[in-house]
Amino acid sequence: MFHERLGAGRPLFLTATPTAGPDTHVDVSLWFVLAGDQDAPLDPDPREYRGVRWFPLDGLDGWPEERLDPEMGRFARKVTAALDGG
Protein backbone atom coordinates (compact mmCIF):
# COMPACT_ATOMS: atom_id res chain seq x y z
CA MET A 1 0.00 0.00 0.00
CA PHE A 2 1.34 3.43 -0.91
CA HIS A 3 2.10 5.84 1.93
CA GLU A 4 -0.69 8.43 1.99
CA ARG A 5 1.46 11.41 3.08
CA LEU A 6 4.51 10.57 0.98
CA GLY A 7 3.32 10.47 -2.59
CA ALA A 8 0.04 8.58 -2.25
CA GLY A 9 0.86 6.47 -5.31
CA ARG A 10 2.96 9.08 -7.09
CA PRO A 11 6.76 9.00 -7.05
CA LEU A 12 8.34 10.98 -4.22
CA PHE A 13 11.74 10.97 -5.87
CA LEU A 14 13.09 10.63 -9.40
CA THR A 15 16.63 9.96 -10.59
CA ALA A 16 18.12 10.03 -14.08
CA THR A 17 21.53 8.37 -14.38
CA PRO A 18 23.58 8.17 -17.59
CA THR A 19 25.11 4.74 -18.10
CA ALA A 20 28.60 3.95 -19.35
CA GLY A 21 29.72 1.58 -22.06
CA PRO A 22 29.11 1.10 -25.76
CA ASP A 23 25.30 1.29 -25.61
CA THR A 24 24.92 4.30 -23.31
CA HIS A 25 21.49 5.48 -22.27
CA VAL A 26 19.85 7.14 -19.29
CA ASP A 27 18.33 5.01 -16.54
CA VAL A 28 15.30 6.75 -15.04
CA SER A 29 14.12 5.52 -11.64
CA LEU A 30 10.83 6.43 -9.99
CA TRP A 31 10.98 6.06 -6.20
CA PHE A 32 7.74 5.32 -4.33
CA VAL A 33 7.11 5.17 -0.58
CA LEU A 34 5.06 2.27 0.72
CA ALA A 35 3.38 2.01 4.10
CA GLY A 36 4.67 -0.94 6.07
CA ASP A 37 5.20 -2.47 9.47
CA GLN A 38 8.75 -3.42 10.40
CA ASP A 39 7.37 -6.12 12.69
CA ALA A 40 5.57 -7.82 9.79
CA PRO A 41 7.42 -10.77 8.28
CA LEU A 42 9.21 -10.09 5.02
CA ASP A 43 8.60 -12.77 2.39
CA PRO A 44 10.64 -11.94 -0.74
CA ASP A 45 10.52 -14.03 -3.88
CA PRO A 46 13.74 -16.11 -3.68
CA ARG A 47 14.03 -16.00 -7.48
CA GLU A 48 14.43 -12.22 -7.28
CA TYR A 49 16.11 -11.56 -3.93
CA ARG A 50 18.74 -13.29 -1.83
CA GLY A 51 17.42 -11.47 1.23
CA VAL A 52 15.69 -8.36 2.46
CA ARG A 53 15.77 -6.39 5.68
CA TRP A 54 14.60 -3.12 7.19
CA PHE A 55 16.97 -0.16 7.52
CA PRO A 56 16.29 2.74 9.90
CA LEU A 57 15.73 6.22 8.48
CA ASP A 58 16.90 7.96 11.64
CA GLY A 59 20.53 7.03 11.01
CA LEU A 60 22.26 5.57 8.01
CA ASP A 61 24.71 3.62 10.20
CA GLY A 62 24.88 0.03 9.10
CA TRP A 63 23.59 0.72 5.60
CA PRO A 64 25.79 -1.21 3.15
CA GLU A 65 26.43 1.74 0.81
CA GLU A 66 28.40 -0.37 -1.65
CA ARG A 67 25.31 -2.56 -2.19
CA LEU A 68 22.63 0.15 -2.35
CA ASP A 69 21.65 2.54 -5.08
CA PRO A 70 23.97 5.58 -4.88
CA GLU A 71 20.90 7.82 -4.43
CA MET A 72 19.52 5.89 -1.43
CA GLY A 73 20.95 8.39 1.08
CA ARG A 74 19.32 11.33 -0.70
CA PHE A 75 16.03 9.44 -0.86
CA ALA A 76 16.17 8.59 2.87
CA ARG A 77 16.89 12.24 3.73
CA LYS A 78 13.94 13.38 1.59
CA VAL A 79 11.60 10.88 3.26
CA THR A 80 12.82 11.92 6.71
CA ALA A 81 12.37 15.62 5.93
CA ALA A 82 8.85 15.00 4.59
CA LEU A 83 7.91 13.03 7.71
CA ASP A 84 9.28 15.85 9.89
CA GLY A 85 7.13 18.34 7.98
CA GLY A 86 10.04 19.95 6.13
Q: Does 1 map to a domain?
A: no
pLDDT tens-digit readout, 37-83: 888 888 899 999 888 888 777 766 667 777 788 888 888 888 988 88
Cα angle 5-38-10, degrees, rounded to a multiple of 5: 30
CA dihedral 36, 39, 41, 42 (to 10 degrees): 50
Asked if residue 28 is part of any domain, the answer here is yes
Range of the domain at 24: 13-83
Give pTM, 2 decimals.
Answer: 0.72
Q: What is the pLDDT of residue 40?
A: 86
Q: Provide the number of structural domains found in the chain.
A: 1
Note whether residue 4 is domain-resident.
no
pLDDT score for 26? 95
